[in-house]
Amino acid sequence: MLLLSVLVLVPAFAWAQGFGGAVRVVDGDTLDVGGTRVRLHGIDAPEIGQHCTRPDGLRWDCGTWVADEVRARIGAQKATCETMDTDRYGRTVARCSVAGQDLGRQLVRDGLALAYRKYSMAYDLDEKAALLAGRGLHGHDMTRPAAHRRAGRTRIAQAAGPTDTACPIKGNIGRSGTRIYHMPGQAFYARTVIRTEHGERWFCSEGEALAAGWRRARR
């Protein structure tokens, strides 16, 4: 019986894989921790380039603002993380702490991110408190990030037409191994050929390309 109890308990501990390192902010809910690309578990922040509307009707890039706010708060501090899962982009989904504080909870409490209830209810009350207080994003009109991403994919699919790819962003790998994505209309878009056998790929949105580790072409 003792041996059976040990075998039953081991898998539960095996999932709690810890890691840590210096933080580099990618966007409001995505970080590089050491050499690991991390999607913070249980939260969802606006995408880079996503717009919110102020009470006076002015539209502004709240996704970039959130990323800058998170970057200013964390700087190059170190984080400790616990792996929860891996998402479809290959990112490690994890809970992370900075200076002993749950980073996801802090971002939701301050109105910089929303509780991602599809995957966790851990920060449900934190979002409701931020909403009542009108903190951060809650003082503005904003489409929830998941809905914004779905709408973006729909627009791309409709614009592409039935004979074209619904994911027109070209993810190219250079000779040095640099991963660069080209948007339609950029200087080298037309001449860039995607070789999937070499690991190159198509993306449906800039958010997907950034999450996968590609950077935008400069021209």
Residue-level pLDDT at 118: 94
| Structural tokens at position 22 | 């210096």
Q: Is the pLDDT of residue 4 over 70?
A: no
How far is 107 from 72, CA to CA, in rounded Å?
12
CA 85 to chain centre: 14
pLDDT of residue 149: 84
pLDDT at residue 120, rounded to an integer: 96
For the four alpha carbons of 18, 83, 50 and 206, in that order, the dihedral sign comes to: positive
Rounded to an integer, the average pLDDT of 202-210 is 88
Query: pLDDT by residue (tens digit) across 124-137?
Result: 999 999 999 999 99
Rounded to an integer, the average pLDDT of 153-177 is: 68
Whole-model pTM: value is 0.68
Confidence band of 151 (pLDDT split at 50, 70, 90): confident
pLDDT at 190: 82
CA distance 126 to 144: 16
CB 129 within 8 A of CB 138: no
Mean pLDDT of 15-34: 90
pLDDT digits (tens, 9 = 90+) for 83-126: 999 988 789 999 999 999 999 999 999 999 999 999 999 999 99
**Greater confidence, 204 or 8?**
204
**Whole-number pLDDT of residue 199:** 82
Percent of the chain topping pLDDT 90: 60
Write down the domain spans for the chain.
13-142, 147-216
Confidence tier at 76 by pLDDT (50, 70, 90): confident
First-last CA distance in the chain:
66
Q: How far apart are CA 19 and CA 164, in angstroms?
A: 42
Indicate the pLDDT class of residue 155, thresholds 50, 70 and 90. low
Class at the top of the CATH hierarchy for domain 13-142:
mainly beta
> What does the buried/exposed string (b/e) look like for 5-22 if buried means 16 or more CB atoms within 10 Å of the residue's CB?
eeeeeeeeeeeeeebbbe
- Residues 6+ away with beta carbon under 8 Å from 115: 42, 43, 44, 108, 121, 122, 123, 124, 126, 127
More confident residue, 175 or 123: 123
pLDDT value for 218 = 86
HEC string of the chain?
CHHHHHHHHHHHHHCCCEEEEEEEEEECCEEEECCEEEEECCEECCCCCCEEECCCCCEEEHHHHHHHHHHHHHCCCEEEEEEEEECCCCCEEEEEEECCEEHHHHHHHCCCCEECCCCCCCCHHHHHHHHHHCCHHHHCECCCHHHHHHHHHHHHHHHHCCCCCCCCEEEEECCCCCEEEECCCCCCCCCCCCCHHHCCEEECCHHHHHHCCCEECCC
Q: What is the pLDDT of residues 40-74, one digit of tens each?
A: 999 999 998 899 999 999 999 999 999 999 999 99
Do 122 and 42 meet the contact criterion of CB atoms below 8 Å apart? yes
